[in-house]
């Protein structure tokens, strides 16, 4: 009798184990219905519409195709034909899909340059947004959104904190009141900029050296006041294009940067017997998923040709001038070379402000150290709009 109970218990446990294993290896069930490309002034979006939320597990820039973003699409059973782009849409050249023998789909997005990007999940729609570099803000869109905010009472930016959690760096910005965030990217050097409209900085400007997570430094300052908007600016100096997320909360926002080791890891090499669809078997390592394109061919390094050097006697006599004495004293107009300014664009508006405070603000914005002479004092009135900081 005891043996029968024992066998029954073992069989029951075995059945439970089988059911548990089958649940852990669920068949793909998500249907990807459409892929749309939406170019705009400041960014280009790829919108994926499915019958249920897409659990995107990984996105990274491929090392053999450096300007191609690869997005893993787990649990997807069917996909539509990718859109045929006869000409570039924003910064996107082409889009392709590939399925390997394990049934996993990958989305390939070919860009004309690597840029910062974010992924936003919203129920059945997943948006991959690529930020254009040095793009002009859409003032019409800003005015439309700012009209819904009570601009008579400014929000205050009270604090900024950083913490490392898992493989991510998390930046928390604490605010009080209504604000509107706008995100864009600049280059030379590469920066991710978050402008908080209708926000006054209620703390000293901030300059933090990070040196990891693909971030060089973080800067926070008051960008402009009533010109026509009051804007606090948060700037991330990046080592390279990165994936980020931005979540707006009731009392601020959260910006997350995953580690480069997770985001930009190269795809695992395929087994020799594994063949992916849409690819010739002989070119699996370097073949591009886009028809008519090929990976860049590395240039062969060649040593420069040897130069023959012949020794010649050096003359110690002064060479005669190429102009006469009359020409030497003829009046000339000397054109001064025009100075080029390369600093970040800034707007300043101060009235009877302390001179030292204004200089300290510019120095903190530019990351410079300042030592004042005891005789430096006074007030200054400034009204500058959209000028490089080194010109200001």
Domain ranges of the chain: 30-132, 139-263, 345-388
> What gap in Å lies between CA 45 and CA 35, rounded to an integer?
10
pLDDT of residue 136: 79
Cα–Cα distance, 45 to 187 (Å, whole number): 20
In 3D space, the residue among 103, 98, 105 whose CA is nearest the CA of residue 55 turns out to be: 105
Question: Could you list the pLDDT tens digit for every one of the 392 residues in the chain?
Answer: 555 555 555 465 555 554 444 444 557 789 999 999 999 989 999 999 999 999 887 889 988 888 999 999 989 999 999 998 989 999 999 999 998 777 889 999 999 999 999 999 888 899 999 999 998 777 787 888 877 777 778 999 999 999 999 889 999 999 999 999 999 999 999 999 999 999 999 999 999 999 988 999 999 999 999 888 899 999 999 999 999 999 998 889 999 998 754 444 444 444 444 444 444 333 444 467 776 665 555 545 455 454 444 444 434 344 444 444 444 444 444 444 455 556 677 777 667 777 777 777 777 777 677 666 667 777 877 777 766 766 65
Euclidean distance between CA atoms 255 and 45, whole angstroms: 19
- Angle CA(299)–CA(304)–CA(307) in degrees, nearest 5? 165
- Domain 30-132 listed as CATH 2.30.30.790: no
**Cα angle 67, 72, 76; round to 5:** 140
Cα(361)–Cα(379) distance, rounded to whole angstroms? 14
Q: Residue 231: in which H helix or E strand, if any?
A: strand 231-238
Q: Residue 292 has what pLDDT?
A: 63
Give me the residue label for tokens 């996105």: 59
Q: What is the per-residue pLDDT for 195?
A: 95
Query: CA 127 to CA 35: how far, in whole Å?
Result: 10
pTM of the model as a whole: 0.64
Tokens of 22: 């089958």
CA distance 142 to 70: 32
Angle CA(343)–CA(349)–CA(351) in degrees, nearest 5? 135
Q: Which one of 3.30.540.10, 2.60.40.3500, 3.40.50.300, 3.40.47.10 gives the CATH number of domain 139-263?
A: 2.60.40.3500
Please provide residue 118's backbone torsions phi and psi, each rounded to the nearest 5 degrees.
-140, 160
Give me the residue label for tokens 């994926």. Answer: 48
End-to-end Cα spacing for the chain: 94
Q: What's the CA gap between 234 and 364, in Å, rounded? A: 13
Q: How many residues does the chain have?
A: 392
Asked whether the domain spanning 139-263 has the same topology as the one spanning 30-132, the reply is yes
């Amino acid at each position: 009798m005891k043996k029968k109970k024992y066998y029954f218990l073992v069989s029951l446990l075995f059945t439970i184990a089988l059911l548990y294993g089958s649940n852990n290896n669920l068949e793909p069930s998500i249907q990807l219905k459409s892929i749309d490309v939406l170019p705009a002034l400041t960014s280009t979006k790829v919108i994926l519409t499915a019958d249920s939320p897409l659990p995107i597990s990984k996105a990274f820039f491929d090392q053999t195709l450096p300007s191609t973003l690869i997005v893993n699409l787990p649990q997807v059973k069917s996909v539509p034909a990718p859109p045929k782009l006869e000409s570039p849409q924003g910064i996107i050249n082409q889009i392709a899909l590939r399925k390997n023998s394990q049934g996993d789909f990958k989305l390939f997005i070919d860009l004309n340059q690597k840029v910062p990007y974010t992924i936003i999940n919203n129920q059945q729609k997943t948006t991959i947004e690529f930020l254009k570099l040095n793009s002009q803000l859409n003032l019409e869109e800003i005015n439309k959104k700012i009209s819904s905010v009570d601009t008579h009472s400014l929000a205050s930016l009270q604090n900024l904190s950083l913490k490392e959690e898992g493989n991510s760096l998390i930046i928390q910005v604490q605010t009080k009141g209504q604000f509107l965030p706008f995100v864009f990217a600049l280059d030379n050097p590469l920066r991710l900029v978050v402008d908080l409209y209708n926000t006054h900085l209620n703390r000293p400007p901030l300059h933090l050296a990070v040196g990891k997570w693909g971030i060089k430094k973080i800067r926070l300052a008051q960008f402009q006041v009533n010109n026509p908007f009051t804007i606090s600016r948060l700037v991330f100096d990046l080592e390279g294009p990165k994936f980020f997320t931005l979540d707006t909360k009731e009392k601020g926002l959260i910006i997350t940067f995953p580690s480069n080791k997770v985001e930009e890891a190269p795809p695992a090499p395929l087994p020799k017997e594994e063949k992916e669809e849409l690819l010739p078997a002989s070119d699996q390592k370097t073949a591009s998923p886009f028809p008519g394109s090929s990976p860049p061919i590395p240039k062969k390094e060649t040593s420069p040709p040897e130069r023959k050097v012949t020794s010649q006697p050096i003359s110690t006599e002064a060479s005669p001038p190429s102009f006469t004495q009359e020409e030497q004293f003829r009046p000339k107009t000397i054109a001064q070379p025009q100075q080029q300014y390369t600093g970040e664009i800034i707007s300043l508006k101060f009235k009877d402000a302390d001179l030292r405070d204004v200089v300290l603000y510019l120095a903190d914005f530019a990351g410079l150290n300042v030592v004042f002479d005891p005789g430096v004092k006074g007030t200054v009135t400034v009204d500058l709009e959209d000028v490089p900081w080194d010109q200001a």
